[in-house]
Structures are given as structure tokens and as C-alpha cells.
């Protein structure tokens, strides 16, 4: 078990963090696990919910200007255009959103027993290793990331690189992984890797939490 800050106590659970970098395919892994019946807490979904909160929207408008809102809601496309091109603005946004997201995840984990996955794109960047017993990194090469982003988001390679470089290098995350899913190949190859990890994890849980 990793070091846990004062005031944060986990119940009888086993937490696997899922991370990677933009375009590596974290959502593919998370969706597969959800379809298998596992609980997956998604930091991006939680963050999106926070952005829809009128109080949070007002705070963001105070920092980034009222033009960041469209019909009273945070315009996520405009916001993305700002933060991926300006690291200081990205830090300001993270300072507003991250504490709320982390609090929600901690509360969910405190009330969860058994195996649970937490999908956090910026897990290493935000120093959230303490939430997890093990960390699964979803890997794809930079060339693959760029190809996926340009196709998925309809953007040029330059903007795709800005998005990728706003996060910790995937090669560094790969070195830190407890489990690695190489998502360069076919879906069947990716799913086979996940199944192998699940077998290893469930064996570990049986040893830790014998009935």
C-alpha cells in the first residue's frame, strides 16, 4: 500500500489507478472493465460535472473572462484552446478543478469495498499515487497518439502535439507502471492484456482478503 496522507483512510478495498496520456486509449480500457461489471471512477467525468456547476462556471469566468462562457456554461472547446497553449492558465484551471475532483474520488473510495478502478489521466502529474494500490498505464507511441488525435478531434499535428506535451511523457509513465497495457495493436490484443492483468489482480486480492 502506498503512503496515505493524514485524514484519508480506505476501507477494505483494492484500488487500481488507470492512467496514460491523451490518445493512448484509456477510455477503451475503462469501457472494457465497465462492460465486465467492474466499478470505474472516471476523473474526466467528475471534472465535466464540476464544469457544469454554476458556481464553478462563475469562478472560471472570473479567472479567464466572461467570454469563456456560452449561454452561461463553460465552453469546453474555448477553454481547451486556452489551456493547451498556455501552461500558466492550465495551472490556474487545475487549481480550481482538481481539489473538487480529488475530494469526490476520495469520498467514493472511502465508501467502496472490493476491487475498484480509478481512471485519472493526470494521476502522476497531480501526485495521486497515494489513492492506488497499483497503477495501470495504457501505452501508445507518440506517433500513434498524434495520428489518433488528428483523426478523433479533427485537429492539426501542431495542436495535437501541444495537447500531448501538456502531460507527462508517456515513456516516463511507462517506466512507473505496475501494470502496462500496450494499446498499439488490435482491440483483441488489448483485451487479452487486460484479462491477464485481471487474473493477476484477483489472485492478489484473494491473498490479501481471504474469506
- pLDDT score at 158: 93
For the cut 90, the answer to whether the pLDDT of residue 146 exceeds it is yes
Confidence of residue 3 (pLDDT cuts 50, 70, 90): very low
DSSP 3-state of 205: helix
Answer with the residue of higher pLDDT: 207 or 55. Answer: 55
Q: Using a cut of 0.85, tell me whether the model's pTM lies above it.
A: yes
Beta bridge partners of residue 14, listed in sequence order: 115
- The span from the CA of 170 to the CA of 138, in Å, is 9
Whether residue 37 contacts residue 140, with contact meaning beta carbons closer than 8 Å, is answered with no
Q: What average pLDDT does range 101-115 have in this prediction?
A: 92
**Averaged confidence pLDDT in the chain:** 90
- The span from the CA of 107 to the CA of 161, in Å, is 35
| Cell numbers found for residue 128 | 495521486
For the cut 70, the answer to whether the pLDDT of residue 6 exceeds it is no
For the cut 60, the answer to whether the pLDDT of residue 84 exceeds it is yes
Confidence of residue 81 (pLDDT cuts 50, 70, 90): confident
DSSP 3-state of 94: helix
- pLDDT score at 173: 97
For the cut 80, the answer to whether the pLDDT of residue 46 exceeds it is yes
Whether residue 68 contacts residue 75, with contact meaning beta carbons closer than 8 Å, is answered with yes
- pLDDT score at 82: 87
Q: Which residues contact 141 (CB under 8 A, 6 or more apart)?
A: 170, 184
Q: What average pLDDT does range 192-199 have in this prediction?
A: 97
- pLDDT score at 171: 96
Q: What average pLDDT does range 146-157 have in this prediction?
A: 94
Whether residue 139 contacts residue 183, with contact meaning beta carbons closer than 8 Å, is answered with yes
Domains of the chain (ranges, CATH numbers) = 13-204 (3.40.50.300)
Give the burial class of 30: count Cβ atoms within 10 A of its Cβ; 0-12 exposed, 13-18 middle, 19 or more buried: buried
- The span from the CA of 18 to the CA of 24, in Å, is 11
What DSSP element (H or E) covers 64?
helix 54-64
For the cut 90, the answer to whether the pLDDT of residue 140 exceeds it is yes
- The span from the CA of 188 to the CA of 153, in Å, is 24
Amino acid at each position: 500500500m502506498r503512503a496515505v496522507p493524514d485524514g484519508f483512510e480506505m476501507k477494505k478495498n483494492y484500488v487500481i489507478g488507470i492512467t496514460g496520456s491523451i490518445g493512448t486509449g484509456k477510455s477503451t480500457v475503462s469501457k472494457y472493465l465497465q462492460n465486465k461489471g467492474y466499478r470505474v471512477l472516471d476523473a474526466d467525468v467528475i471534472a465535466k460535472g464540476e464544469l457544469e456547476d454554476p458556481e464553478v462556471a462563475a469562478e472560471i469566468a472570473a479567472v479567464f473572462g466572461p467570454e469563456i462562457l456560452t449561454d452561461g456554461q463553460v465552453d469546453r472547446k474555448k477553454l481547451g484552446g486556452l489551456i493547451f497553449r498556455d501552461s500558466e492558465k492550465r495551472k490556474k484551471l487545475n487549481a480550481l478543478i482538481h481539489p473538487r475532483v480529488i475530494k469526490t474520488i476520495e469520498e467514493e473510495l472511502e465508501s467502496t469495498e472490493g476491487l475498484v478502478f480509478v481512471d485519472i489521466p493526470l494521476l502522476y502529474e497531480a501526485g495521486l499515487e497515494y489513492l492506488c494500490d497499483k497503477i495501470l498505464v495504457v501505452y501508445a507511441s507518440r506517433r500513434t497518439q498524434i495520428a489518433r488525435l488528428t483523426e478523433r478531434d479533427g485537429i492539426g499535428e501542431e495542436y495535437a502535439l501541444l495537447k500531448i506535451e501538456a502531460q507527462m511523457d508517456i515513456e516516463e509513465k511507462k517506466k512507473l507502471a505496475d501494470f502496462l497495457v500496450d494499446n498499439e495493436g488490435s482491440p483483441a490484443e488489448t483485451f487479452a492484456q487486460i484479462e491477464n492483468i485481471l487474473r493477476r489482480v484477483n489472485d492478489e486480492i484473494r491473498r490479501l482478503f481471504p474469506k
